[in-house]
Structure 1
Amino acid sequence: MPRYAISDIHGCSKTFATLLARLKLQKSDELYLLGDYVDRGPDSVGVIGQIMDLQQRGYNVQCLKGNHEEMTIDAYQRQAYHRHGYSDQHIRWMMNLADYLEIPGYILVHAGLNFAVENPLEDTKEMRWIRYWIEDIDRLWLGDRVIVHGHTPQSYLETRRDVNNVDTVPAICIDAGCAFQARNLGYLVALDLDTLEVHSLRRIDLV
Structure 2
Amino acid sequence: MIYVASDIHGFLGEYYDFIDSSNFSDDDVFYIIGDVIDRGPDGVRILLDIMQRQNVILIKGNHEHMLLPTLKELAYSDPISQNEIIMTDIAICPIGQRETLTEFCRLSREEQYRVIDYLESLKLYEIISVNDQKYLLVHAGLPDFEEMGELEDMWDMDFFTEEELLFGQHWYEVKHFTDTIVIVGHQPTRFIDGAEPDKIYRCGDSINVDCGLGFGGQLGVLCLNTNEELYF
Q: TM class by shorter-chain length?
A: 0.7 to 0.9
Q: Report the CA distance between 1:145 and its aligned residue.
A: 1.1
- Out of 177, 181, 199, the position equivalent to 2:230 is 199
Q: Name the structure 1 match of 2:31.
A: 32
Deviation track 1:106-130 (CA, whole Å, cap 9, x = no partner) reads 0001110134476344423211101
Partner of residue 65 from structure 1, selected from 60, 80, 93: 60
Report the aligned-residue RMSD: 2.3
Q: Could you give the per-residue CA deviations for residues 35-73 of structure 1, whole angstroms, max 9, x where no partner exists?
A: 101000011111101211223xxxx22220000000110
Q: Which residue of 2 aligns with 1:113?
A: 142
> Map of 1:42-191 to 2, 5 A cutoff?
42-55=41-54, 60-79=55-74, 80=85, 83-85=102-104, 87-104=112-129, 105-116=134-145, 119-123=156-160, 124-135=162-173, 137-139=174-176, 142-155=177-190, 157=196, 162-163=201-202, 165=203, 169-181=204-216, 186-191=217-222
List alignment gaps of at least 5 residues for structure 1: 202-207
Between the aligned partners of 2:22 and 2:140, the Cα distance in structure 1 is 24
2:20 aligned counterpart, secondary structure: helix
Q: 1:17 to 1:107 in 2, by over 3 A?
A: same
Q: Secondary structure at the match of 1:22?
A: coil
| Residue aligned with 1:179, SS | helix
Number of aligned residue pairs: 185
* Contact preservation (8 Å) 2:200, 2:229: no
Q: Deviations over 1:67-87 (max 9, x none)?
A: 000011022234345644151
What letter is aligned with 1:129?
A: F
Unaligned runs of 5+ in 2: 75-84, 87-100, 106-111, 149-155
Partners of 1:7 and 1:35 within 8 A in 2: yes
In the alignment, the residues of structure 2 paired with residue 132 and residue 149 of structure 1 have an alpha-carbon distance, to the nearest angstrom, of: 8
TM-score, structure 1 length as denominator?
Answer: 0.80
Contact 1:159 1:172 in 2 (8 A): no
Give how far 1:178 is off.
0.6
Percentage identity across paired residues of the two chains:
30
Residues 12 and 159 of structure 1: CA distance in aligned 2, closer, same or farther (over 3 Å) = closer
Code of the residue aligned with 1:170 in structure 2: it is: D
What secondary structure does 1:98 align onto? coil
TM-score by length of structure 2 reads 0.72
Q: Which structure is larger by alpha-carbon Rg, 1 or 2?
A: 2
1:1-41 alpha-carbon deviations (Å, 9 max, x no partner): x1100100100011100122225422221211111010000
Report the CA distance between 1:161 and its aligned residue. Answer: 6.6
Q: Secondary structure at the match of 1:32?
A: strand
- In structure 2, do the counterparts of structure 1 residues 65 and 23 end up closer, same or farther at CA, with 3 Å as the change threshold? farther
Q: Does the C-alpha gap of structure 1 residues 31 and 161 become closer, same or farther in structure 2, counting only changes over 3 Å?
A: closer
Letter in 1 for 2:220: V
